[in-house]
Structures are given as C-alpha cells and as structure tokens.
Amino acid sequence: MSDVWYLALAYGAVWLGLVVYLFRLGGQAAALRKEVTSLKATMRETRVEEAGEQPERLVAGVTREAAG
C-alpha cells in the first residue's frame, strides 16, 4: 500500500472516531431531554391526581409555589 493510502486511512480513522463520538453525545443528549420532559409530565400528573385525592394539598402546593 502507498503512503497516501495509509495517510487517508489514518485521517479517516481520526475523523470517523471523533465524529461518531460527537454524534453519540448528541443522540444521548436528545434522548435524555425527551426523558426529562416525559418524567416532568408524569410528575405533574401524579401531583394533580394526588391533589384530587386530597384537595387541601393542592391548595397548599399552589400557595407555596406562588410564594416561591
């Protein structure tokens, strides 16, 4: 194999490694953002259901949030 072939192989490996890692990070970040949004929605629903069972808690929660 010629020098140029090895050079292309080396630069290809360097760029491929770095770009794959960059995209992997991007993909994981997007998946986590989605999961955070979904978990926050679940938490809100749980809170509302909980407040439905015990309305005084919702009132207390709303007052606390307004004060905070």
Partner 1 sequence: MNIRLNALAASTTADLPGLRFGLPVLAAALLLAALTEALVIAPTEAAMGDIQRIFYFHVAAAWAAFLAFFIVFAASVAYLRTKATRWDVVAVSAAETGVVFVSVALVSGSIWARSTWGTWWTWDPRLTTTFLLWLIYVSYLVMRSMVEEGPRRATFAAVFGIIAFLDVPIAFMSIRWWRTMHPTVLTGSGFSVEPAMLPALFLSLAAFSAFLLHLILLRSALERSRQEVTELRRRIGWMEERRS
Q: Give residues in contact with partner 1 (CB under 8 A).
A: 1, 3-4, 6-7, 9-11, 13-14, 17-18, 21-22, 25-26, 28-29, 32-33, 35-36, 39-40, 42-43, 46-47, 49-50, 53, 68
CB nearer to partner 1: give 55 or 68. 68
Q: Do 51 and 58 form a contact (C-beta atoms < 8 A)?
A: yes
Question: What's the closest the beta carbon of residue 58 comes to partner 1, in angstroms?
Answer: 14
SS3 of 4-41: the string is: HHHHHHHHHHHHHHHHHHHHHHHHHHHHHHHHHHHHHH
